[in-house]
Chains A and B, each alone.
Chain A
Amino acid sequence: MRVVKGMGFSRTVFFLTMGFLFLPLVVLIVYSFNSAKSMSWGGFSLVWYERLFLKERNVWNAFENSLIIAVSSAAVATCLGTLGAIGVNWYKFRFKKYVQAVAFLPLIMPEIIIGVSLLIFFAGIQMKLGLLTIFIAHTSFNLPFVFLMVLARLDEFDYSIIEASRDLGATERQTLLKVILPVSVPGIVSGFLTAVTLSLEDFVITFFVSGPGSTTLPLYVYSMIRFGVSPVINSLSVVLIAGTVLITILARNFLKYIAQK
């Protein structure tokens, strides 16, 4: 290893940044093993994990809601976004530029505006707020992410592979199934995972469009905090962090595997 001298400043900034980013997580993880309920250290204990897994039924109900919505909205958004990206990449049609521009809008629009507008919309068509409305909302804000990720992947490849496929005798359907979809797999997978993540963590939009009995995990955690920070939240957070890290590593390895293939 090369030892670089005179790097004191960069090094300091680096460690400060890393500390700023990760110290809160470390504190949270440490306190999840604290036996005392207050912020003072009362000794190592798994009592809050026990509470979380055995007693806090509401947490798991909320988590179940979150998971159902995340997976279903991500799946639907992935299907629609992938088809949209393929369509925009493949066909020439009027208003193509506008479709692409409009696809960016939800990314830059403040969430609160999306939330309010969806609420007004659902009220307008007299739709009962609940899991279905959350699912619709999440699908709609997930869609542009999948669309852009798949489109970016498709843009890496020359349009001529589509022409080559047609030239070699493939119908449009065969071209879609045997060339375009296999080539877009990395984009589709990252789009889906991003959608799941965004949906799992969304608070603002969900807050507007949820109704009784449709509490998601972020909403439930927020409501718990309003009555004082329960150490159960610490243990729940650690479980979530562990889950996220695990999924990220799996996804990374999968994409690496695809890229090498």
Chain B
Amino acid sequence: MHFSPPFAIIPLSSTTTVTIGGKRNELKGSDVSIEGVSKSFGTFTALRDVSMVIRKGEFFSLLGPSGCGKTTLLRIIAGFDDPDGGEVSLDGASVLSLPPNERHVNTVFQNYALFPHLTVFENVAFPLRLRKTPNATVRARVGDYLELVQLSAHADKMPAQLSGGQKQRVAVARALINEPSVLLLDEPLSALDAKLRQHMLIELDSIHDKIGITFIYVTHDQQEALSVSDRIAVMNAGQVLQIGTPHEIYESPATGFVAAFIGETNMFEGTVASVEGTMVAVDVSGLGRILVTEDEPPAAGSKASVVVRPEKIRIDTERPAPAKRTDINFLEGSVDEPIYSGSSTKYYVRHQSGIMLKVIKQHANWSDEGPEIEWKDKVYLSWSADDAYLLGAS
């Protein structure tokens, strides 16, 4: 888990005694394999030839802008939609011929989809009641899962009496009580406000840790995906652009779209001027020569884009002392727009050539001295060739 919350963690595990699941690292759930799945709605192609393998017990996110096909893929796994072609299998066995109720997969819906005529308790008990489970067992199991989502006190309420976050928890408990091997979550937090979203995200993560089954999490929010996922598939226009850990996706995006969609980025198109070992010099019109290190450098003369994250760029009011390093890029410019957001400030810096760069400066602590950078200030930008990367011409 790549996870360092910028807020207080509510110690869920220490305040509740839950008799569900086992130790972490004991991987449960199923492998989900998706091979060449395609789906069109009329003339709109929702998915084209999508393939991926989701490992047992993984917290896997499908990330992409709305309309990228991520929800369609989830609905195909759940069995609500049939693909036009391709294969979906759980632990190697195809599930495409099974109706939703026979797949060992449960869904947490975006709008909760709680049954309005049943109490919280009966909503969670619904799957058990279908199987005519004895009352005592139902009471015990539902009790456990309500405790897991911290809703024991609200068991007798109707869904209409609950807040958004509470409804979400009921939906999670209800989806888990069948002990599915895969839990599908369709933008489960999108209807909650920012603060609650953070909180629920941690809870989901801790539930995943306890239950240990495969989670497939659909979201358009890159921050959510980065903070809880083991791996992420970035999708756009019905295609998978990259699958990797949050670190891989953020630090070495496969395409310009991934770079721009995950976090903020500066991207300059240019031509490779020279290559020395892994050090590549790229001529960018307006900015001049930019140094980038690249393990598999392109040939000189080819087109390439230099990508550098805003937080990798250092911003100073005085030119930093030229150290003995040769891998530092320097640019000069003036602050066009400082955007203060509490723990950090984002600066839009205009280079002499007119090119705009985004720079994020983290507000550190007492050791972070120096005058405040303000609007119209002349500033020096610098970053290491190691912190930038190259994307091939696309």
Contact = CB atoms under 8 A, between A and B. Distances in A.
Interface of A: 157-158, 160-161, 163-171, 174, 178-179, 182-183, 185, 261
A158 B113 contact: yes
B116 A167 contact: no
B111 A170 contact: no
A261 B127 contact: no
Contacts of A165: 115, 126
A149 B30 CA distance: 44
Interface in B79-125: 79-80, 99-101, 105-107, 109-111, 113-117
B33 interface: no
Given A161-B114, A161-B115, A179-B115, A167 B130 contact: no
B100 A163 contact: yes
A167 B177 CA distance: 12
A168 B116 contact: no
A185 B118 CA distance: 13
A167 B114 contact: no
A163 B109 contact: yes
- Interface size of B as a range: 20 to 34
Nearest to A174: B130
14 contacts: A160-B110, A160-B111, A163-B80, A164-B113, A164-B115, A165-B126, A166-B99, A167-B78, A167-B79, A167-B80, A168-B101, A168-B106, A168-B130, A179-B115
Closest 3 CB pairs of A and B: A164-B113, A160-B113, A166-B100
B208 interface: no
Contacts of A168: 101, 106, 126-127, 130, 174-175, 178
A259 to B, nearest CB: 10
Nearest to B184: A167
B109 A160 contact: yes
A183 B99 CA distance: 23
Report which residue of A161, A167, A183 has the largest number of chain B beta carbons within 10 angstroms of its beta carbon.
Answer: A167
A183 B160 CA distance: 13
Given A163-B100, A183-B117, A169 B178 contact: yes
B158 interface: yes
A100 to B, nearest CB: 20
A170 B111 CA distance: 20
Contacts of B100: 163, 166-167
Contacts of B110: 160
Given A158-B111, A167-B100, A169-B131, 17 more contacts: A157-B116, A161-B116, A163-B78, A163-B100, A163-B109, A163-B113, A164-B114, A164-B174, A165-B126, A167-B78, A167-B106, A168-B126, A168-B174, A169-B130, A174-B130, A178-B126, A185-B117
B189 to A, nearest CB: 16
B125 to A, nearest CB: 10
B353 to A, nearest CB: 52
Contacts of A179: 115
Q: Most A CB atoms within 10 A — which of B106, B113, B174?
A: B113
A204 B363 CA distance: 82
Interface string B151-163: 0000000100000
A166 B158 CA distance: 21
A166 B105 CA distance: 11
Given A182-B117, A183-B116, A167 B158 contact: no
Contacts of B106: 167-168
B101 to A, nearest CB: 5
B56 to A, nearest CB: 21
B195 to A, nearest CB: 25
Contacts of B101: 166-171
B130 A183 contact: no
Contacts of B116: 157, 161, 183
A160 B105 CA distance: 16
A179 B78 CA distance: 19
B177 to A, nearest CB: 8
Contact of B107 (A164, A171, A174, A185): A164
B215 to A, nearest CB: 15
Contacts of B130: 168-170, 174, 178
A159 to B, nearest CB: 9
Contacts of A161: 113-116
A185 B105 CA distance: 30
Contacts of A171: 101
A169 B130 CA distance: 7
A170 B114 CA distance: 14
A168 B99 CA distance: 11
A258 to B, nearest CB: 9
Nearest to B131: A169
Contacts of B117: 182-183, 185, 261
B105 to A, nearest CB: 8
B158 A261 contact: yes
Nearest to A259: B160
Interface in B308-326: none
A179 B178 CA distance: 18
Contacts of A182: 117
A182 B80 CA distance: 23
